[in-house]
Homo-oligomer: A and B are copies of this chain.
Amino acid sequence: MSARASLLGIADLGADDVGRILDTAGRFGQVMDRDIKKVPTLRGRTVVNLFLEPSTRTSTSFELAAKRLSADVLSIKGTGTSMDKGETLKDTILTLEAYDPDVFVIRHPQVGACRLADGYTDASVVNAGDGTGEHPSQALLDLYTVQREVGPIKGLHVAIVGDVLHSRVARSGIRAFTLMGAKVTVVAPPTLVPRHLAEALGAEVSSDIRDIADADIVYVLRMQLERMGAGGFVPSLDEYARMYQVDHARLRPGQRVMHAGPVNRGVEISGALVDDPETLIEAQATNGVVVRMAVLYDVATGAAGGSAQGDAALEAA
């Protein structure tokens, strides 16, 4: 019917694309306040969720988003599938593509896997996290959350604290906040921040936690314990917590704290701060569904290409 698009990374988007998706999310947000939280927008369309890494919140959030759009959803996890028989991602996609799905939502342990998959299918592909690459729907819901809870992104100062090296959330977040006119400072021990990358992305770099003082938003990254291995990136978790843990003592009044979850209480963030209702953490989780509804709608209807037509379809819902 209409052209399809994919969402592989924030790097591919312009500010107008971001604005359009956030607007759509806002309109779906109104639907979600109703008693019957469902629209017929994607009825008869098929969304395949292919998650080849463990996930609760992202997979659940996309699955619920698709169901609330009335799409048929197939959820495929990385175990119990032919991937166990040594099948390649290419062949899995080709097989699934043959069923004529409208959208693939893919999480994969390797950078670039979603872009690769996009080359093998006529369906839209949404990157739900590719190794240490990108996690664009997370960055979009972060922008949406800040816009609703704090105000316009333009001119804000965002400090991103922690394990930037292993974080796709950071990569997408730096790009997204910068694109929308925020200033970004990355704060991390030198071993955990690839300086040339942060600079290439337009972020300042600091290894002094006191440099979060100037920020309006303090975005705390998950310490990816399961990826640390014997890598020796930090002397010890205790040492890391002592030097870089974000807690109430290190914040000044008015600063808003974000975290994409799941949190390690007492490691990168104090338990008391996680439970503080002033943070944006719960709002981030809450906004996941409507932003992902907007993303699925945007790619499945090719809203990028013809917004008038797209708008009509949304109103009809």
The answer on a CB contact under 8 Å between A95 and B57 is yes
The answer on a CB contact under 8 Å between A87 and B262 is yes
Of the listed stretches A180-188, A212-220, A228-236, A282-290, chain B binds A282-290
Q: Is A83 an interface residue (CB 8 A)?
A: yes
The answer on a CB contact under 8 Å between B38 and A72 is yes
- Residues on B with C-beta less than 8 A from A282 are 94, 98
How many interface residues does A have (CB within 8 Å)? 59
Could you mark each residue 265-308 of chain A with 1 if its beta carbon is under 8 Å from any beta carbon of chain B, else 0? 10000000010000000100110110000000000000000000
Which 3 pairs, one residue from A and one from B, show the smallest C-beta to C-beta distance? A36-B44, A98-B285, A56-B82
Q: Is A309 an interface residue (CB 8 A)?
A: no
Give the one of A45, A83, A94, A289 with max B CB within 10 A.
A94
The answer on a CB contact under 8 Å between A84 and B54 is yes
State the Cβ distance, A89 to closest chain B Cβ, in Å: 12
Of the listed stretches A17-25, A62-70, A110-118, chain B binds A62-70
Q: Is A191 an interface residue (CB 8 A)?
A: no
Of the listed stretches A73-81, A164-172, A198-206, A237-245, chain B binds A73-81
Q: Is A315 an interface residue (CB 8 A)?
A: no
A residues engaging B (CB < 8 A)? 1, 32, 34-38, 43-46, 48, 51, 54-57, 60-61, 63-64, 67-68, 72, 74, 76-88, 91-92, 94-96, 98-100, 225-226, 261-265, 274, 282, 285-286, 288-289
The answer on a CB contact under 8 Å between A44 and B38 is yes
Copies of this protein in the assembly total 3
The answer on a CB contact under 8 Å between A44 and B37 is yes
Q: How far is the CA of A82 from the CA of B36 in the complex (A)?
A: 29
Known: A74-B60, A82-B57, A99-B288. A91 touches B32 (CB 8 A): no
State the Cβ distance, A11 to closest chain B Cβ, in Å: 26
The answer on a CB contact under 8 Å between A64 and B56 is no
- Residues on B with C-beta less than 8 A from A64 are 46, 72, 74, 99
- Residues on B with C-beta less than 8 A from A63 are 74
The answer on a CB contact under 8 Å between B43 and A36 is yes
What are 5 A-B contacts with C-beta separation under 8 Å? A37-B46, A46-B64, A55-B80, A55-B82, A64-B72
